[in-house]
Structure 1
């Protein structure tokens, strides 16, 4: 009985906020009498340009489900608020966006609004796409209208109350969202501005690499300092992954050169590591298809991000470090070497410069130890002589925590201690 008044209060407050959002908050949609594009490009040129921009935005990775048809949606995103499915963005007129105008696409990307004014959830990263220029939105529209139409109904989202009330997104936007196209910084070079536009707008890197608050908004004061999100560790199984720090911190990109960043984005590899896990899709479906100039500009921009360092770490328990050293020497040292420097044919380095090892959040490192790194599957030569095995059936939680802690506190690494509870959180069996 005591919980009933609380429920009534919650429902009343929710209703008041919804009314406020619907009645008082402004409609920010845009419209025009003519076509959105201002450049004198013919449709074929627009389509080709839009195809390139769709690659830069990695649209296919999110809007194409496993074994699904191209851009027909249906990919599940697990969030703290429930499951949200990507939508059909093929030109089918009933289930896709075939009936949309170019202005409709602009409003979805610039303001997070569907035709008719319904709010989109920021799982569709309009918080970054808002910066995309009108001309580029027009090119994307031309491309999306040119791909094969697929009739596929959009799946119903499974979002918990009260977050399933879309009008509440108007209130969320008032608190956390500022729409507007990217504005050039005249004090910077053209290369820097191009990189900023790609990283902050089309590639929406901050969507994964920036931590979020309790309402799912990016923490602007910690921009690009590392984030967490749910993604697949096994078929149908989702666990947290940590996106590393991309600022100039010594535990981020501070040790990487622009050439290191460019090589990673273009080939999924550099002298520090090879891509694995969710980043594979970003590289294989997006950045490796970009021009050398664009990849270089992204690297130039990323190297200018002011360092945001994680909190100072405490010393690890010597007993834990000793146990971790024994496990490392038994299972890891042959390939990664006792120095952690790795071997060009056997395994990547684990010493200073490995963003995954140095990350404040060890989720991705734990996933690699438990399940082995999922190497990029593409027309790339095999990097390592043998793939790393999975240790989920070999090491228990305390052992995984010990070896991870040893690696994160050895050589030139200084990252937070890993606990058994953190490992247990990543296990799925």
Structure 2
């Protein structure tokens, strides 16, 4: 009997080892031969210029640059629910960067998430979106990166627990969650819509932040653009469930993406500040294409929603009902939260009740998506850490209150704002979120709202884009 059980156990172990070996063989990808670092002068200048614009759409510099460090040299810590991943060096340094990568190796990394040596890449690098990129655009980005300044720097290895630190298991993840292939235009859509879809779904990887993820870290396709999170910030739904009190129109989105602010929506902050800053490189027609496609995903607001929004905008413009709830203009419930009302009057009202226009004035909170959102995370972040000034440019700023307001003060203030400026129920778990954010348990990246107009067009920068129709 003992011999029989031993043979059964031995057979099971042999099968297990055989299956593991087969899986490793299946997951293996061959290396692509090294090349000599390409001569920067060999690249066409127009391709390099186009690559710069496309790399900006992909937000490459934001992830592959440590603040204050060398551009594209990598090493930025990217916290995930599974551990910390560090961005790689994508400068043309042959030893520590991608200087010995040929175009074929670079294309494979973008299309399949596999590096030159054959290692599977973690999907923190958004190849699940970049796979849609055309051959021509990949070649342009390659030309741009290969003409950057080489930097000798080896990024740290990912800090992940076993077995997640074993890259071959990513082949199984890809089998379940990765659809490889270039963008296919919709024959029933306009050229403008297809261009917007190509940029937003591909290099722009909007869904990387604005779509929720499952237990395995993969985006939930059925909840496309219904809201997610990034770097400690809430990425609002940009579908039909958008919590913005003023419905977004395509022209409003275009202005916001070009300039990093909109009079009826406020300024970009957190990771979105970097996005709008980078998109400033794009020509107006591409900005309009992204905005048109995104607005289509949000759907057309009802006539009732449009009328309510127009009434609210008129009230804000004229100063009517300032400091009152958006829907009924009822008096805010200050008596029930005197502490919150007092803090607001002292710390917030001088900017947010002054009527000074965007982008340098404080947004009227009746227009604030952050105050109307299902999660208070973004308003917690901004109140605690403020808005730092943009580098070398005029920008919106806000002081940080983390050293001034206690957790109890923060709860009182944000509860007051929620009740005073919306007709929505109070946020739950606010105290716990404030404590976790202040302590660093929720890692929050703080980036300035970049107001630099770097694009060739202006999309109406000379006017406040209030709704007039």
Q: TM-score, normalised by structure 1?
A: 0.80
Deviation, 1:24, is: 4.2
Q: Distance in 1 between the 2:135 and 2:180 partners?
A: 13
Change (3 A) 1:46 1:225: same
Task: Report if aligned partners of 2:371, 2:421 keep a CA contact under 8 Å in 1.
Answer: no
Runs of 5+ in structure 2 lacking a partner?
1-13, 33-41, 300-332, 441-469
Secondary structure, aligned partner of 2:383: helix
Name which of 325, 337, 340 aligns with 1:324: 340
Deviation, 1:152, is: 1.8
Q: Distance in 2 between the 1:333 and 1:203 partners?
A: 36
Q: Distance in 2 between the 1:157 and 1:30 partners?
A: 21
The answer as to 2:267 corresponding to 1:279 is no
Partner in structure 1 of residue 362 of structure 2:
347
Change (3 A) 1:194 1:13: farther
Partner in structure 2 of residue 363 of structure 1:
377
Q: Distance in 2 between the 1:165 and 1:53 partners?
A: 32
Cα deviation 1:241-285 (Å, max 9, x = unaligned):
21222223350486122222122211111102122222222222x
Change (3 A) 1:202 1:367: same
Deviation, 1:373, is: 2.1
Partner in structure 1 of residue 255 of structure 2:
263
Matches within 5 A, 1:92-241: 92-230=93-231, 240-241=232-233
Q: Distance in 1 between the 2:181 and 2:213 partners?
A: 21
Name which of 417, 421, 429 aligns with 2:432: 421
Partner in structure 1 of residue 24 of structure 2:
22
Deviation, 1:106, is: 1.3
Runs of 5+ in structure 1 lacking a partner?
1-11, 32-40, 231-239, 308-316
Deviation, 1:202, is: 0.9
Partner in structure 2 of residue 247 of structure 1:
239
Deviation, 1:87, is: 0.9
Q: Distance in 1 between the 2:95 and 2:229 partners?
A: 35
Change (3 A) 1:17 1:243: farther
Task: Report if aligned partners of 1:30, 1:107 keep a CA contact under 8 Å in 2.
Answer: no
Q: Distance in 2 between the 1:65 and 1:268 partners?
A: 22
Change (3 A) 1:85 1:343: same
Q: Distance in 2 between the 1:105 and 1:209 partners?
A: 27
Partner in structure 2 of residue 4 of structure 1:
none
Q: Distance in 2 between the 1:264 and 1:46 partners?
A: 28
Secondary structure, aligned partner of 2:280: helix
Deviation, 1:416, is: 5.5
Aligned length: 384
Deviation, 1:324, is: 3.4
Cα deviation 1:43-63 (Å, max 9, x = unaligned):
333222212211221211111
Deviation, 1:217, is: 1.1
Partner in structure 2 of residue 305 of structure 1:
297
Change (3 A) 1:93 1:14: farther
Secondary structure, aligned partner of 1:426: helix
Change (3 A) 1:424 1:320: farther
Task: Report if aligned partners of 1:324, 1:399 keep a CA contact under 8 Å in 2.
Answer: yes
Q: TM-score, normalised by structure 2?
A: 0.74
Task: Report if aligned partners of 1:208, 1:243 keep a CA contact under 8 Å in 2.
Answer: yes
Change (3 A) 1:281 1:135: same
Change (3 A) 1:18 1:306: farther
Task: Report if aligned partners of 1:91, 1:150 keep a CA contact under 8 Å in 2.
Answer: yes
Cα deviation 1:204-228 (Å, max 9, x = unaligned):
1211222212221112222222212
The answer as to 2:394 corresponding to 1:394 is no
Partner in structure 1 of residue 390 of structure 2:
376
Partner in structure 1 of residue 421 of structure 2:
411
Change (3 A) 1:225 1:375: farther
